């Protein structure tokens, strides 16, 4: 399962604090880079999001908790959509609605 983990730095968080924590957790083998499918920072800094792959929400929480004193997280499970197949599915919905005669 893929998780969208939006983060925003707390007001007292600094670049140095974030750098130290990330390096500390990396060196301890806790960051599990193979699970991080994407890491994006927003222009201007202080916020961004991670795409993390794990089937266990408890593992995701364990991964995020060491950073919670520096950043807040807003986490959502996400899934990919194949555009072409999704359009065809939506066309079926439209046809069914038209066939039912409901507005």
Confidence (pTM)? 0.85
User: Domain total for the chain?
Assistant: 1
| pLDDT value for 101 | 77
Q: What is the pLDDT along the chain (103 residues), one digit of tens a residue?
A: 999 999 999 999 999 999 999 999 999 999 999 999 999 999 999 999 999 999 999 999 999 999 999 999 999 999 999 999 999 999 999 999 888 877 6
- Cα 24 from Cα 18, distance rounded (Å): 10
Task: Quote the domain boundaries for residue 21.
Answer: 2-100
Q: Which residues pair with 9 in a beta bridge?
A: 71
CATH of the domain at 95: 3.30.70.1060
- The reported pLDDT for the residue numbered 7 is 98
pLDDT at residue 67, as a whole number: 98
Q: Which residues of 5-25 are buried (b: 16+ CB within 10 A; e: fewer)?
A: bbbebeeebeeeebeebeeee
């Amino acid at each position: 399962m893929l998780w969208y983990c939006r983060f925003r730095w707390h007001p007292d968080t600094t670049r140095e604090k974030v750098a130290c924590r990330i390096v500390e957790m990396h060196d301890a083998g806790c960051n599990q880079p193979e699970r991080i499918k994407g890491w994006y920072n927003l222009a201007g800094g202080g916020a961004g999001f991670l795409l993390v792959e794990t089937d266990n929400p408890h593992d995701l929480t364990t991964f995020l908790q060491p950073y919670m004193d520096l950043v807040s997280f807003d986490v959502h499970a996400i899934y990919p959509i194949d555009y072409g197949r999704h359009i065809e599915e939506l066309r079926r919905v439209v046809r069914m609605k038209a066939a039912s005669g409901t507005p």
